[in-house]
């Protein structure tokens, strides 16, 4: 009796034998009662009667069914769309001066060809991922183009680097490069001077006087590194699948926070993503998406080799030591995520979160004493648990200003909720597939716990969203991958419309998110973008001032503190003047507390008009009021960018700029 196994099945005598290339014919075996047929030594046997061969029906090849666009199967159609998008994006670009930007921001000044480039590029991405095997080089190229399209549109159309804070950071780095030490008691950011020290070393080694040439395209570089980090994080957490391409695109299209400029937090974000990638790749088991319950006491050793685990642990510790003197919040967020991985039984080295947290605490205690000395209770301990203050400063107090600006703020809130909704739907879909762990939703929500600690100057929820975005992109990517998989399973001949509709879900999701991000990122450009004339006025005032004199602007909407940090005082009038909107009150305050040089530029007046509802004609009224007081007069004028000099003991007779129209 024969037994069927995986490799040996019972022999059946009447089983047809497959022959190639002919048709299958049954084999006839002699029965025990049949007589033996002898073959004569000479002659030949009569050829047996051939069995009639049934004519083989020729099945016609199915042609393109109704509604099937055959061009979509062309392997060069997607790259062609990407090429067309590049041409449209470049052709549609044109310079946009700050004076032409209204309350709605930069989006109103972008041309139609430039705006059409974004959906075409997303369509190329979706078509590539619909292929049986997506081509890595093409996807990498599309992602690089996406980084340039989303984060490079402002550097491409604006005259000089935007965001006054970026200019301030260049001034901090220049001070360290020139003096070899930080400036004590000047700014809290000098307590975390790791980024500024690194930039000072780079500029010294390169032989350039400052970091101003690096400011304009810094968002593209930092954002590209972040997108690369999210791609590596997705591959480590999800594996090399289509979802690991959707995750960086969700981060790319959803990062409206604009924290990728020339700043310590951008560098710290890149380092944090590198640490999380190493952790998920070599120090975590099981993966986040595996439907396995893990326990803290019975942790499984990762599948990596002992050498790889040792190198990964050392690299994470080095990153933590670099994060501690670089940024205030990022090391604590990284330590919190590692602690959650440990509590859920996924992290192999139990000591790692405590080392990361300890490095941040040690630096805060010893290296940042200039920041918390004398105000530990007021700034650190008192806000603990005060969620209402964080919500009020981070959300409700910001909902003010012009109608166009309110629209931009609502779009930012909608974009954040949009990404959170995609993540939630992805988590629900994964739980349907027996995902038993709550680790992934906990990691998505954990960064928002910062609101319990600090309002962070009203920016806490923006920072929370930035820290949570790489993690929320993982379940959101799985959701988009499922829609794409469903489209690949459908057949064009049977259900062409349904196939097209399902395949359009990822395209529509990414296109809508990218559109909201374009509006949100450029919403402040009326007062954060600057012209060469603005820089010329600020540079002249800083260069003309004597040591100890003050060079101020009305609000923080002008390049400032990019040179002579610590030598010339540089600040904003809205810090010491409670009312700048009403001209008589502003003139009176500036007469009493005003600086030696007052820089007046167009973005400052746009700031006051959009956010503080200054009346039309405010600029002329303020200028006339200051000149009528005989305390200030125009000493520099470059196409409307003014510098007013104060007639006081320090500067009894301010002289106009040579060549200017004073």
Q: pLDDT of 76-103, one tens digit each?
A: 899 999 999 999 999 999 999 998 999 9
Binning pLDDT at 50, 70 and 90, where does residue 64 land?
very low
Backbone angles phi, psi at 644, to 5 degrees: -105, 130
Q: Please report, rounded to a whole number, the percentage of residues in the chain having pLDDT higher than 90.
A: 63
In-domain check, residue 321: no
Cα–Cα distance for residue pair 626/614, rounded to 1 Å: 17
Domain membership flag for residue 589: yes
Q: What is the mean pLDDT of residues 540-544?
A: 94
SS3 454: coil
- d(CA 200, CA 194) in angstroms, rounded, equals 10
Neighbours of 35 (CB within 10 A): 6
For the CA atoms of 292, 295, 296, 301, the dihedral, rounded to the nearest 10 degrees, stands at: -60
Q: How far is the CA of 434 from the CAs of 250, 271, 340, 351, 430, in angstroms?
A: 25, 33, 21, 30, 7
- Secondary structure element (H or E) that encloses residue 358, with its range: helix 352-362
Q: CA 162 to CA 36: how far, in whole Å?
A: 100
b/e per residue, 257-285, with b = 16+ CB within 10 A? bbbbbbbbbbbbbbbbbbbbbbbbbbbbb
Angle at the Cα of 594 from the Cα atoms of 590 and 598, rounded to 5 degrees: 100
Higher pLDDT, 500 or 424: 424
Region 490-507: mean pLDDT is 78
> To which H or E segment does residue 242 belong?
none
Q: State the pLDDT at residue 205.
A: 93
Edge-first strand order for the sheet with 550-553 is: 569-572, 550-553, 597-600, 641-646, 632-638
CA 347-351-354 angle, to 5 degrees, is 105
Q: What is the CATH number of the domain that holds 560?
A: 3.30.63
Q: What is the mean pLDDT of residues 140-149?
A: 97
How far is the C-alpha of 486 from the C-alpha of 303, rounded, in Å?
31
Return d(Cα 285, Cα 301) in angstroms, integer. 7
Cis omega (within 30 of 0) on the bond before 286? yes
Does residue 605 fall inside a structural domain?
yes
Residues in the chain: 662
Question: In the predicted model, what is the mean pLDDT of residues 209-219?
Answer: 94
Q: How far apart are the first and last CA of the chain?
A: 112
Rounded Cα–Cα distance for residues 142 and 450 (Å)? 35
Is residue 553 a part of any domain in this protein?
Answer: yes
Taking CA atoms, 497 is separated from 488, 493, 504, in Å, by 13, 10, 11
The answer to whether residue 579 sits within a structural domain is: yes
Domain hosting residue 613, numbered range: 532-646
Whether pLDDT at 50 is above 80: no
**Side-chain-side CA neighbours of residue 603 (13 Å):** 27
Query: Is pLDDT larger for residue 13 or for residue 419?
Result: 419
Yes or no: say if 253 and 517 are a contact pair by the CB < 8 Å rule.
Answer: yes
Residue 110 is assigned to a structural domain of this protein: no
**Helix or strand run (H / E) with residue 32:** none
**Above 90 in pLDDT, residue 635?**
yes
Q: Is 377 helix (H, G, I), strand (E, B) or coil?
A: helix
- Mean pLDDT of the 164-183 span: 94
pLDDT of 521 above 90: yes
pLDDT band for position 656 (50/70/90)?
A: low
- In the numeric block, which tokens belong to residue 248? 């960086």
* pLDDT, average across residues 340-347: 92
Residue 650 pLDDT > 50: no
Q: Fill in the DSSP letter of residue 381.
A: I
Q: What's the CA gap between 454 and 380, in Å, rounded?
A: 7
- Which of 76-85, 244-253, 289-298 is least confident? 289-298
With residue 95 as reference, give the H or E element that holds it: none
- Interhelix angle for 496-521 vs 243-254, to 10°? 40
**Cα–Cα separations (whole angstroms), residue 438 to 6, 196, 201, 435, 449:** 39, 39, 44, 8, 17
| CA pseudo-torsion sign 441, 444, 450, 451 | negative
Q: What's the confidence (pLDDT) of residue 3?
A: 45
Q: Which of these, 588, 586, 579, 585, lies nearest to 600 by C-alpha position?
A: 586
> Is the separation of the CB atoms in 545 and 281 below 8 Å?
no
Could you give the percent of the chain with pLDDT greater than 70? 82
Nearest-CA neighbor of 247 among 276, 217, 282? Answer: 276
Tell me, yes or no, whether 538 lies in a domain: yes
Separation of alpha carbons 107 and 405, rounded Å: 12
Domain count, the chain: 1
Residues 6+ away with beta carbon under 8 Å from 457: 393
CA nearest to 248, candidates 236, 232, 262, 264: 232
3-class DSSP state of 596: coil
Query: Which pLDDT score, from 0 to 100, does residue 32 have?
Result: 54
Residue partners of 359: CB distance under 8 A and separation at least 6: 320, 321, 323, 324, 331
pLDDT for residue 49 = 57
What's phi and psi for 569, nearest 5 deg? -75, 130
In Å, what is the CA distance from 88 to each residue of 100, 202, 247, 483? 22, 36, 26, 29
pLDDT in tens, 547-591: 999 999 999 999 988 999 999 999 999 999 999 999 999 999 999
pLDDT, position 88: 97
């Amino acid at each position: 009796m024969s037994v069927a196994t995986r490799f040996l099945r019972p022999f059946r005598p009447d089983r047809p034998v497959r022959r190639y290339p002919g048709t299958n014919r049954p084999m006839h075996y002699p029965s025990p009662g049949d007589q033996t047929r002898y073959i004569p030594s000479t002659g030949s046997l009569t050829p047996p009667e051939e069995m009639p061969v049934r004519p083989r029906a020729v099945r016609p090849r199915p042609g393109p069914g109704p509604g099937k666009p055959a061009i979509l199967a062309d392997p060069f159609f997607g790259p062609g769309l990407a090429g067309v998008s590049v041409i449209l994006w470049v052709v549609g670009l044109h310079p946009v001066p700050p004076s032409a930007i209204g309350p709605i921001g930069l989006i109103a000044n972008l041309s139609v060809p430039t705006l059409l480039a974004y959906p075409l590029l997303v369509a190329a991405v979706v078509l590539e991922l619909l292929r049986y095997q997506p081509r890595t080089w093409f996807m990498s190229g599309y992602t690089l183009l996406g980084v340039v399209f989303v984060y490079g549109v402002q550097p491409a159309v604006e005259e000089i680097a935007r965001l006054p804070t970026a200019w301030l950071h260049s001034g901090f780095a220049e001070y360290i490069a020139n003096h070899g030490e930080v400036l004590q008691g000047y700014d809290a950011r000098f307590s975390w001077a790791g980024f500024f020290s690194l930039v000072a070393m780079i500029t010294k080694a390169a032989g350039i006087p400052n970091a101003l040439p690096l400011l304009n395209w810094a968002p593209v570089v930092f954002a590209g590194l972040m997108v690369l980090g999210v791609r590596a994080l997705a591959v480590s957490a999800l594996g090399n699948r289509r979802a690991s391409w959707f995750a960086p695109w969700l981060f790319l299209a959803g990062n409206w926070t604009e924290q990728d400029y020339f700043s310590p937090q951008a560098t710290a974000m890149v380092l944090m993503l590198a640490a999380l990638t190493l952790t998920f790749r070599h120090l975590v088991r099981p993966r986040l998406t595996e439907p396995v319950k893990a326990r803290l006491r019975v942790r499984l050793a990762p599948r990596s080799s002992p050498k790889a685990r040792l190198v990964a642990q050392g690299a994470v510790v080095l990153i933590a030591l670099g994060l501690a003197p670089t940024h205030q919040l990022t090391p604590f967020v990284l330590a919190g995520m590692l602690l959650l991985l440990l509590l859920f039984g996924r992290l192999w080295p139990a000591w790692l979160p405590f080392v990361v947290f300890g490095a941040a605490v040690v630096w805060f205690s010893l290296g940042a004493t200039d920041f918390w000395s004398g105000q530990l209770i007021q700034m650190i301990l008192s806000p603990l648990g005060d969620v209402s203050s964080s919500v009020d400063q981070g959300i409700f107090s910001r909902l003010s200003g012009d109608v166009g600006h309110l629209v931009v703020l609502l779009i930012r809130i909608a974009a954040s909720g949009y990404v959170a909704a995609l993540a939630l739907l992805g988590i629900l879909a994964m739980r349907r597939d027996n995902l038993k762990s709550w680790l992934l939703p906990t990691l998505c929500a954990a960064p928002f716990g910062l609101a319990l600690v600090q309002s962070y100057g009203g920016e806490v929820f923006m920072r929370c969203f930035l820290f949570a975005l790489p993690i929320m992109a993982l379940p959101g990517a799985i959701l988009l991958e499922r829609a794409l998989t469903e489209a690949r399973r459908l057949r064009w001949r049977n259900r062409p419309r349904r196939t097209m509709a399902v395949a359009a879900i990822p395209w529509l999701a990414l296109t809508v998110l990218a559109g909201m991000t374009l509006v949100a990122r450029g919403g402040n450009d009326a007062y954060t973008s600057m012209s060469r004339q603005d820089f010329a006025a600020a540079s002249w005032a800083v260069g003309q001032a004597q040591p100890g004199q003050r060079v101020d602007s009305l609000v923080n909407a002008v390049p400032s503190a990019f040179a002579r940090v610590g030598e010339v005082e540089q600040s904003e009038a809205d810090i010491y003047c409670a009312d700048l909107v009403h001209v008589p009150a502003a003139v009176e305050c500036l007469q009493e507390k005003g600086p030696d040089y007052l820089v007046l530029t167009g973005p400052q007046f746009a700031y006051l008009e959009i956010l503080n509802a200054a009346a039309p004609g405010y600029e002329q009224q303020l200028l006339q009021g200051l000149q009528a007081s005989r305390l200030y007069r125009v000493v520099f004028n470059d196409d409307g960018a003014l510098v007013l000099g104060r007639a006081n003991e320090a500067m009894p007779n301010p002289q106009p700029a040579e060549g200017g129209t004073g």
